[in-house]
Chains A and B, each alone.
Chain A
Amino acid sequence: MDIQLKRGLLDVCVLSAIKDGESYGYKIIKDMKPYIVLSESTLYTILKRLETADMLTVRIAEYDGRLRKYYHITNSGIARIEEFKNDWKEILSIYKFVTKEGAAND
């Protein structure tokens, strides 16, 4: 897959993982695991990028005697997810057309 494309897709995935409520590193990876495998390093880069783009905020809280970072989605982040969903409605109908064409020729 095109690297830029995958990068953008993973960004939206991570945003979705924190869409319904704040989450933390390991939980994000676990939640995404049934759908896509994400390495720790990749997740770190994505979280940093999203934070710079103001699509999420970070808060540090104590948990079990150690510090944990919780990531919280922002309005920009939610807007990005909506943008993704709209983009892909179009891509899905193109896909339907492409695969339909193939079936007709069989």
Chain B
Amino acid sequence: MTKNDFLMSLKDKLSGLPKDDFNERLDFYSEMIDDKIEDGISEEQAVMEIGTIDEIFAQIINEVPFRKIVKEKIRRKKKRKVWESVLIIVGSPVWVPVLIAILAVVISLYLTVWVVLVCFYITSISMFISAIGGFIMAVAQMISGNYPIGVLFIGAAFFLIGLGILIILGIRVIAKGFLMLTQKTVKGLKKLLVNKGDAQ
């Protein structure tokens, strides 16, 4: 691919973003390619060494905050035709509450997952506390001579400790996984928004 084709395709793919987010980077690549060519590397090779268009697209998207992408989309939408704007405003008593409702449901579902995780965590803490109580009871029983019951309490206390640890370990894994899922979703959304942008 020639340098210009490469830069053009990249600009095209990034057309959903505000110019200042990628113009500087493209200038940087352009300078780099020119220097490589001057150093004896072929134009094709120089372009290839930068990376594929998709890779660079992903890198740039990664660095732009989600809010900016959304802002840019909204800014673009202002260029729409008059009748579209009228329709949106007129229909707003309908779609605004619906949108708010949908967002509220999505957000509360998301938060619910975290709340459930926290509940499990609290449960395991209470198991540890109960285990302490179990040990105290065990000591009390031992003192009054009820050794079998004391041993039972010790066993129960250890059981609770073990269960508490298992729960905490499980929660940590799930929380990490869920967090990564969230990040991946945000990345995917960013890509989706920017891609739809170049249809404007």
Chain A positions near chain B (C-beta within 8 angstroms)? 24-27, 29-30, 39-41, 44-45, 47, 64, 66-69
Specify which chain B residues have a CB less than 8 angstroms from the CB of A30 in the assembled complex.
Answer: 39
Specify which chain A residues have a CB less than 8 angstroms from the CB of B25 in the assembled complex.
Answer: 44
Are the CB atoms of A67 and B31 closer together than 8 Å? Answer: yes
Q: Which of B29, B32, B50 has the most CB of A within 10 A?
A: B32
Q: Does B5 contact A (CB under 8 A)?
A: no
Bound: A69/B28 CA distance, A: 8
Are the CB atoms of A68 and B56 closer together than 8 Å? Answer: no
Are the CB atoms of A66 and B31 closer together than 8 Å? Answer: yes
Query: Separation in Å of the A43 CB from the closest CB of chain B?
Result: 8
Q: Mark B10-34, 1 if CB is under 8 A from A, else 0.
A: 0000000000000001011101101
Specify which chain A residues have a CB less than 8 angstroms from the CB of B29 in the assembled complex.
Answer: 40, 44
Q: Which of B44-67 contact A (CB under 8 A)?
A: 49-51, 55-56, 59, 63
Q: Does B35 contact A (CB under 8 A)?
A: yes
Known: A25-B28, A69-B28. A40 touches B35 (CB 8 A): no
- A sample of 18 more A-B contacts (CB under 8 A), given A25-B28, A40-B28, is A24-B31, A24-B35, A25-B32, A25-B35, A26-B32, A29-B32, A40-B49, A40-B50, A41-B51, A41-B55, A41-B59, A44-B28, A44-B29, A45-B59, A47-B28, A66-B34, A68-B31, A68-B35
Partner of A40, one of B32, B34, B38: B32
Known: A26-B35, A68-B31. A40 touches B51 (CB 8 A): yes
Are the CB atoms of A69 and B31 closer together than 8 Å? Answer: yes
Q: Is the interface of B mostly helix, strand, loop or mixed?
A: helix
Q: Does B36 contact A (CB under 8 A)?
A: yes
Bound: A29/B46 CA distance, A: 13
Cβ-closest chain A residue relative to B39: A26
Query: Separation in Å of the A49 CB from the closest CB of chain B?
Result: 10
- 29 residue pairs A–B, Cβ–Cβ below 8 Å: A24-B31, A25-B28, A25-B32, A25-B35, A26-B31, A26-B32, A26-B35, A26-B36, A26-B39, A27-B35, A29-B32, A30-B39, A40-B28, A40-B29, A40-B32, A40-B49, A41-B50, A41-B51, A41-B55, A41-B56, A41-B59, A44-B29, A45-B63, A47-B28, A66-B31, A66-B34, A67-B27, A67-B31, A68-B31
Bound: A67/B34 CA distance, A: 10
Query: Separation in Å of the A8 CB from the closest CB of chain B?
Result: 18
